[in-house]
Structure 1
Amino acid sequence: MQMFENLPWYSYVILVLAIASYAYRYFKTGKEEYDAPELKEARFKKSSNSNLNEEQRFALALYTPISEWWKADFNTLTFLQANDIKPYLEGWGIDTPEGYWSLTEYFMKDGRRWYFDFIYPMIQKEPKEQWERLMDEKFGNNERAHRYLEWLNNGEALGTLKQKGILTFDSELELGVAGYDAAVLVGQARKAYTGGLISEKDAWKVIHFAKELALRHFSSWEEFGKSFAIGFALDMKADYDSYKEQVYHIYKQVLENPNSPWNTMDWPR
């Protein structure tokens, strides 16, 4: 301490400020690292007891980016354990057979396509002064619809997907969100079956519908995956940012990893 005794008074001020500045940067960096999402690595787990055929495995693969987030097997209809997916079923309001079928029928008939297929063309073709009237006539006071309008209009969703390397061109938004709807149908059917809400036969009926929906709209895993990502980006609220970052990270692995179902199964011609 003797080395500091003969310093002028302002040197102490400078020293204190330097220590405070260092401490701020240290704790700020630490907090940012603590707050950052834990980015998961895709493992592409598969059960050795699976007896699914190629068509069934292809259909299940539509849900791969989110299935990998859950660390679930990609080649079984069962999805983890019933207790593991109970909070998900409750959160979506599909923890009863009635709740599950109500939401499933909506996703089969309309899904998030109902929003996107009206709002995206409206932005492209209609004068902006007409948007409020058109939105009210179509959706009324629907929070999700207005979020889709905001994010499609201000380019937030597009910008994020381009920054992540998922989309390259603005025109790729024209792929729509049918891929997301198909993926949700597959994932929720698997979880509802695991939770004992629906039979195996009914689960495969829904999954077959999702597969046909995807095949009608897309001609490759790349097209399907981009549509899934567009729907996911638009559908998740802003306070789901950590979850979104994790799924984007996994999505790139699903697209690029040679062990991914998207790279071991061909898209049907």
Structure 2
Amino acid sequence: MLRGPKVEEKYPVPLTMHQLWIVSLCAPVNRGSDASRTTLYPFKRINDKRAWRWLAENWEVSSQGDVLTALSGLAQTGYRAQVAERFGVSPLAWDVALYVDVARNAFAAGHLDEAEAWRLLGNVVQPTAATYGSWKEYADDYLLGRMVWMGTLRGTPDEGFPAPQKVSDEHLRALLEAPDSPWNTVAWRAIGEPDQPRG
């Protein structure tokens, strides 16, 4: 398989601490070894067609209008509305992780330019920072949302689609504990402090 250039070759300027915090919100859904967790671009190597296909297959998104509709839905009600109706809890982290993932892939696919992607990503900063006090709280709520979502797939043709819960649990544990994790590179509180370049 042909591989594109490394993402740093096309986007050499490191993210600021605020930008890294925002991108790190979707770290729970990016388990693959080819996922970039330190750039706006979602992969370690440039592959715009992959992002385009992923959006089309998983979100039925093939235009900027589709992107805006998907993001608006996740920001306003998302899956948490269904969860709240059925279980009385509203896991914002699940929808935020998906929102950031969709926006990053939309940037890679060419549906959004860089400025528009950052503007849209900024929409989830305040509600997320106001809801959680740490990456651990965010991770716990994300896992709750994921478990409930997986429950809604039981008995459907998509039941075997998601990775087992154990895989997700281990990934979240690594994000919280590994020294090179983006969550240990940028503190949760950093989003409330003045922005600064990353070392």
**Residue 118 of structure 1: aligned partner:** 85
CA distance in structure 1 between the aligned counterparts of 2:163 and 2:38, rounded to whole angstroms: 27
Report the structure, 1 or 2, having the larger helix content.
1
Deviations 1:68-104 (A, max 9, x none): 3262221211122212223320121112222211111
Preserved contact between residue 93 and residue 100 of structure 1 (Cα < 8 Å)? no
Aligned mates of 1:94, 1:249 — CA distance in 2 = 30
CA gap 1:46/1:192 in 2 versus in 1, 3 angstroms: closer
1:193 equivalent in alignment to 2:111: no
Q: Which residue type is aligned with residue 206 of structure 1? A: L
Does residue 68 in structure 1 map to residue 31 in structure 2? yes
Report what 1:87 is aligned to.
Answer: 53
Q: Secondary structure at the match of 2:61?
A: coil
* Equivalence for 1:263: 184
- Picking from 99, 103, 110, the partner of 2:70 is 103
1:189-244 CA deviation, whole Å, 9 max, x = no partner? 00001000012122112211122221121011100011111112222433224365
Q: CA separation in 1, counterparts of 2:95 and 2:187? A: 21
2:145 to 204, 226, 231: 231
Aligned to 2:18: 55
Unaligned runs of 5+ in 1: 1-44, 122-173
Mapped partners of 2:135, 2:181: distance in 1: 11
Q: Matches of 1:187 and 1:104 in 2, distance apart?
A: 10
Q: Does 1:211 align with 2:125?
A: yes
C-alpha distance in structure 1 between counterparts of 2:146 and 2:179, whole Å: 23
| Coordinate RMSD, CA, aligned | 2.3
Distance 2:65 2:164 in 1: 28
2:7–2:41: 8 Å Cα contact kept in structure 1? no
1:84 aligned counterpart, secondary structure? helix
TM-score, structure 1 as length reference: 0.58
Contact 2:28 2:97 in 1 (8 A): no
CA shift, 1:245, in A, is 4.3
Q: Would you say the 8 A contact 2:38–2:182 is kept in 1?
A: no
Q: Considering only CA atoms, is the larger Rg found in Structure 1 or Structure 2?
A: 1
Q: Is the 8 A contact 2:24 2:182 kept in 1?
A: yes
Q: Across the two proteins, how many residue pairs are aligned to each other?
A: 172
Instruction: Letter of the 1:97 partner, please give it.
Output: Q
Match of 2:197 in 1: none
Measure, in 2, the Cα distance between the counterparts of 1:65 and 1:97. Answer: 25
Percent of pairs with identical residues: 21
Q: Cα 1:203–1:118, aligned 2, differ >3 Å: closer, same or farther?
A: same
Deviates more, 1:252-261 or 1:190-199: 252-261
Amino acid corresponding to residue 257 of structure 1 in structure 2: A
CA contact (8 A) 1:65 1:251 kept: yes
